[in-house]
Structure 1
């Protein structure tokens, strides 16, 4: 190994070499018919990244998807490096794939998925890599309507029964977010939003991420996806 090579350069080379209010959208966008974004025009600020996601979600829920950045040229360009503009921490639910929900393509999003958006060292390390090494300006914590992991956590607390295998770990992590002011299905729904806020707060408390937020280089935003109308909206 050549001496004096910066650690960040080595990490990037290694990766390249391996082949809010309910009903309000992510950002106030006046764009209706979006134009396909050239790959060189990567959103560079948190606001630009949020706008891109908002426009993509609008295309998705109005059945006007562009399926961007899938061409042979794009695929060849990505062999030598990647420059995603957002980290999306979402649930593993098969109904909420971020690239589809935001109508994004290859190299646009770095997606990290765990049931109920639960954080552990692997998830935190993955998010930190995207922010600190790839200088991604936005982390979006994306919960969703009718989350099974949240429902399981609520049921486990209410019944006192332990869940099988490692699923109990997920329930234990979600438990502090359970909204006891609600009951039944309303409790699960309220807890979905409360869990997003809790995960968002935990990420914002990470010193390295907080430093970039204070410098205006990063935003950590909470949002949820509604299965009924496919809308993604911010959670205040």
Structure 2
């Protein structure tokens, strides 16, 4: 992405909800070199922050509700979570949880867009979001997969004010033209039971090697490493518990 730090309206954080926290620490630590630190406070519920060096890059957390799927979630930065929640509701979205405070670090809400893709709002206080983007092992792109792309453009531009750059094959989201993500139309190739969702992509030094490493660690390669025309080399992977994410060659973002 062309963003190198959290900015209002842009992706600022990504977190995994999993039913195997220790397994996730091992899998992603091996794949990305993450150092995991679990918040020791009981009220934190096992929330674990992954670091590259001293920089926070993502989170791993237990499932907090029985209906919560094992999945990666993407958070977008907002100035005021309560105002953003009202605006997204007016635009046709739904607030699933919150807004609520997280200690002194920020205020968040979980929402779903009109087509069913879940995302999060983050109003920063002590914690602005990821400390690094685009470097190997960190977030570098976010992608919406949806069956209603026209409705998605209307919704997200209304709620976040994103810029939109579309071609015959792909739509890119941006903040004032600085691309940070894209959108894919879910066609008949996607099983009906796969819901619309946001997919985080992490930068890696070598896409092919990362895909092989994920498979060796009991993950699954859903989309083999491929070079996108006029774009980066990418692969889509699934961790051992079913969470899907992408990887791309660092230095080829946006």
TM-score (norm 2): 0.24
Q: Which has the higher contact order (CA 8 A, sep 6+)?
A: 1
Q: Would you tell me which structure has more helix in proportion to its own residues?
A: 1
